[in-house]
Structure 1
């Protein structure tokens, strides 16, 4: 019997590859459906070792320059001294939108991009009437720096299970400003996550979903009280309508939430100064420069956007001097439950509307480059 030659081995390899591709090829869709939601079938692999650079053809407006000459601790100053960071960070993009952003030219530009990256899908009268309520230039700033000596230190608190048993509550509360998102449960977990909230970030959808999903964990209302500000992420018209109703103290006038009373979310004593809204250009900038996921090339690309936690973390990075991130995904995320308030350990599930693993790689890199401090927990 003749020994099989290299040609024989090659042909056998081709046959094996063809059969394997036929059998397993359908799993390459990356997605499966679960309970009406679409989740990732397998983790995405990292394709880049460095932070991406924004394309030159992305058109955005610019914000007035901020004088940081007296704050050597600020990220703005740090970025100016580092050629890599200077290439990546663009502090001229406005973080928040207000009445001063509305003009015929801006409408013509932003109406071409679907929310949250523009105003497409949001009627002009809704944009105008909502942003007209944010009439003072201070509404375009997250906070006022006047009279604040030294560095402005901010803590951004995610809901990751890594915080359970961490005893980081006092550290979190020691920051000047504390950001929280979605199911921001604090009662019963004060030792681990603190008690203070300065900024609560959300979309109308995540706010309502969090209240429904985490009620059993103690999330019966969003943070309220003196000093709490609400940062809307304008994912669609619902967010503009809810903000408008909240500022005016009236029920939501139309759309999905018609008749809803904002006071049941934000309390009876909220004022216009308590509400902020991210600028579509800022969300575009974050997506294009930092979080341009492979999901954008997949079947469900239209569902993708940076997570609420990611947007609040980048908001802090572009407004505060020093930022600490707690409860965000780390490389050993499998060792922890999905949320710090879970009664029993639950695995983190990846849905196609966010790329949490890519976000985790970005947090690790920003920590390594000393752009921010990321809470990690060794096993």
Structure 2
């Protein structure tokens, strides 16, 4: 950190000296009739180059392509809000007046519990801060793989390439055992809600995506008393995830994805698109695997034996086609790469 500050100070000092020298030479060239060693035109060109250098946006990372780079696409800049916080913490555990009723409507909560009380109970059980792994403290290159569950991963042999990333994000019931050659074996963060939960390895962080107040209460129960075993379907009463490895997706971030990125299409975003937009905010370079249909146009999960399945494409809740258009648009402006498999 000290080295970075010293380097920044040196760069600023050189820029100030350069500006002073340019100004001086411009004035000098006005008063001297002939200057053999530095013509006035050269000074003007140097000054113009300096102005362009100052105006050019600083690269936010050292990757070949940086997700956070602005002024690449007006479409992206209109949607991407760097100030939005993806994770719920003890410090930002509140919902604005327009967000709370919208979130309650996602699954038809008519008599919600005291949300502030639920937040207090939640952060008495799980850490109230941000995952230190997700915090970006210096300019670098954090490469992330977001692995969807599409059947196009079958026979893709993407496994080693997926595992080479710094972070590997998976979602819902996605298994890796038995599918390592195609989907990899590494997972750093796994996105779930109570109804899609699966047990995770000890070194994997669980990211709860709460679509209702009961989801937050379930986390408390599943790590303590085990009293909640049913939402609209049976859910695990107890889970083995370490409390310090439980993170919570911010409900306000869900609305941000819905408003800014989906433009109100569908009832609310899928876990897949929520994971993608999450990655734009915590990663420098993003690769997508296992999204969309297979080469025959079928929508199914890679672990299923019924490749003609596709009910989750038209759930009446998520707009799979529009979400696919968003990821395609991100790829077209080189914010993500999409590996389409087979």
Per the normalisation by structure 1, the TM-score is: 0.65
Instruction: Indicate if the aligned counterparts of 2:87 and 2:247 stay in contact, CA closer than 8 A.
Output: yes
2:244 match = 273
1:145 CA displacement: 4.0
Q: Deviations over 1:198-229 (max 9, x none)?
A: 1111111233xxxxxxxxxxxxxx25223201
Of the candidates 247, 257, 266, which is equivalent to residue 286 of structure 1? 257
Q: CA 1:288–1:278 in structure 2 vs 1: closer, same or farther (change >3 Å)?
A: same
Work out whether 1:152 is the aligned partner of 2:142.
Answer: yes
Work out whether 1:368 is the aligned partner of 2:332.
Answer: yes
1:301 match = none
2:304 match = 342
After the TM superposition, which residues 1-379 of structure 1 pair with which residues of structure 2 at under 5 Å, given as runs?
71-73=61-63, 75=66, 77-102=68-93, 106=95, 110-115=99-104, 121-124=112-115, 125-134=117-126, 136-139=128-131, 143-145=134-136, 150-207=140-197, 222-247=198-223, 249-252=224-227, 256=231, 261-263=237-239, 267=240, 270-295=241-266, 304-329=267-292, 334-336=296-298, 338-349=300-311, 350-377=314-341
* Aligned equivalents of 1:274, 1:261: Cα separation in 2: 18
Q: Secondary structure at the match of 2:104?
A: coil
Q: Secondary structure at the match of 2:201?
A: coil
Q: CA 1:114–1:77 in structure 2 vs 1: closer, same or farther (change >3 Å)?
A: closer
Q: CA 1:102–1:341 in structure 2 vs 1: closer, same or farther (change >3 Å)?
A: closer
* Aligned equivalents of 2:282, 2:77: Cα separation in 1: 16
Q: CA 1:92–1:333 in structure 2 vs 1: closer, same or farther (change >3 Å)?
A: farther
Instruction: Indicate if the aligned counterparts of 1:99 and 1:134 stay in contact, CA closer than 8 A.
Output: no
1:364 CA displacement: 1.0
Q: Structure 2 stretches of 5 or more lacking a match? A: 1-57
1:168 CA displacement: 0.4
Instruction: Indicate if the aligned counterparts of 2:190 and 2:206 stay in contact, CA closer than 8 A.
Output: yes
1:335 CA displacement: 3.3
Q: Secondary structure at the match of 1:201?
A: strand
Report which of the two structures shows the higher radius of gyration computed on alpha carbons.
Answer: 2
* Aligned equivalents of 2:133, 2:114: Cα separation in 1: 26
Q: Secondary structure at the match of 2:130?
A: helix
Per the normalisation by structure 2, the TM-score is: 0.71
Q: Structure 1 stretches of 5 or more lacking a match? A: 1-67, 208-221, 296-303
1:289 CA displacement: 1.1
* Aligned equivalents of 2:262, 2:315: Cα separation in 1: 15
* Aligned equivalents of 1:327, 1:261: Cα separation in 2: 30
* Aligned equivalents of 1:117, 1:99: Cα separation in 2: 23
1:61 match = none
Instruction: Indicate if the aligned counterparts of 2:229 and 2:236 stay in contact, CA closer than 8 A.
Output: no
Q: CA 1:252–1:92 in structure 2 vs 1: closer, same or farther (change >3 Å)?
A: farther
Residue correspondences, number: 278
1:245 CA displacement: 2.6
TM-align CA RMSD: 3.1
Instruction: Indicate if the aligned counterparts of 1:142 and 1:276 stay in contact, CA closer than 8 A.
Output: no
